[in-house]
Homo-oligomer: A and B are copies of this chain.
């Protein structure tokens, strides 16, 4: 698939024109947001990129901001769900930290375009600020798990739990800039191997 050809679904043609299903349309929009920046991307650019009219886009979504909101929800819902699963496990603190690191890496690998968008927000609208607040809450939750692991003697205590959470997530989040599941990134043939390796480095940093 080239930049100018997006996949067309057989299910959605209307009025004789090729159509897109909504997930495909959203994915193409997120790709363009990540390439040019959300603010620099207009509905006209999205329409031209998709080869359809602006009104065909508005058939699926209310506005550019609604597209952004749905993409950010995808990323944040998945991250929050991963943290909920860890918290519900009742595992010991150090095991929870490890599971949260693995879970976050899994979400990043699965939802990389949406997470990339999330990581680049600047807080220029209510939608962006709400997403950034949810992201900060995830950092806070990891900080709490790290604090419990510090109390259990399993994590270094010369750095605050909140700053350890920020550094750990900074390392984890960097994979969106270099890891590609389908290009055989040297040293990581599969997503599972990448998750294993990054988890090892992140936990090494936390142990000190």
Contacts and interface: CB of A to CB of B under 8 A. Distances in A.
Interface of A: 34-40, 120, 122, 124, 156, 158-160, 162-164, 166-175, 177-178, 185-188, 197-198, 200-202, 204-208
21 contacts: A34-B122, A36-B39, A36-B124, A37-B38, A39-B39, A156-B201, A158-B200, A159-B197, A163-B185, A163-B197, A164-B201, A166-B174, A166-B177, A167-B171, A170-B171, A170-B172, A170-B174, A171-B171, A173-B174, A200-B208, A204-B207
A188 B167 CA distance: 13
Nearest to A39: B40
How many copies make up the complex?
A: 2
Contacts of A173: 170, 174
Main secondary structure of the interface of A (DSSP, over half): helix
A207 B206 CA distance: 11
A187 B165 CA distance: 13
A169 B174 contact: yes
A34 B122 CA distance: 8
A167 B176 CA distance: 11
